[in-house]
Amino acid sequence: MNITKDQETGIDTSRRNFLGRGSVALATVALAAVAQGQERAQVHKAEGDHSASNPGQENKTLLEQNPNSNTPPDTDHGDVGPIWYSFDLAHKRVQEGGWTHQVTARELPSSKDIAGVNMRLTAGSFRELHWHTADEWAYMLTGKARVTVLNPDGTIFIDDVEEGDLWFFPAGFPHSIQGLGPDGCEFLLVFDEGMFSEDGTFLLSEWIAHTPDEVLAKNLGLDPSELAKLPKDELYIFPSELPGSLAADRAEVGGARVQAPQQYTFKLKAMAPTKKTAGGEVRVVDSHNFAVSKSIAAGLVTVKPGGLREMHWHPNASEWQFYIAGKARMTVFMPTSRARTMDFNANDVGYVPPVAGHYIENTGDTDLVFLEIFKADEFQDVSLNNWIRRLPTQMVREHLNLDAASIRKIPAEKQEVIGR
Cα 308–Cα 406–Cα 360 angle in degrees, nearest 5 = 10
Check whether 132 is labelled as a binding-site residue.
Answer: yes
Report the amino acid identity of residue 211.
T
In Å, the largest CA–CA distance within the chain is 111
Check whether 50 is labelled as a binding-site residue.
Answer: no
Sign for the pseudo-dihedral over CA of 91, 201, 371, 329: negative
DSSP calls for 249-274: HHHHTTGGGGB-SS--EEETTTSPPS
Check whether 44 is labelled as a binding-site residue.
Answer: no
Closest CA to 169 of 201, 205, 121, 125: 201
Question: Which of helix, strand or coil describes residue 240?
Answer: coil
Check whether 358 is labelled as a binding-site residue.
Answer: yes
Count of C-beta atoms within a 10 Å radius of residue 337: 12
> CA dihedral in degrees (62, 63, 68, 69; nearest 10)?
70
Count of C-beta atoms within a 10 Å radius of residue 198: 21
CB distance 195 to 115 below 8 Å: yes
Report the amino acid identity of residue 391.
L
Q: Is 372 a catalytic residue?
A: yes
d(CA 409, CA 376): 34
Check whether 163 is labelled as a binding-site residue.
Answer: no
CB distance 359 to 416 below 8 Å: no
Buried b / exposed e over 342-373, threshold 16 CB at 10 Å, is bbbbbbbbbbbbeebbbbbbbbeeebbbbbbb
One of 107, 186, 193, 372 is an active-site residue; which one? 372
Question: Which of helix, strand or coil describes residue 351?
Answer: strand
Count of C-beta atoms within a 10 Å radius of residue 325: 14
Q: Which residues are catalytic?
A: 372
Binding-site residue positions? 130, 132, 136, 175, 312, 314, 319, 358
**Binding-site annotation, residues for Mn(2+):** 130, 132, 136, 175, 312, 314, 319, 358
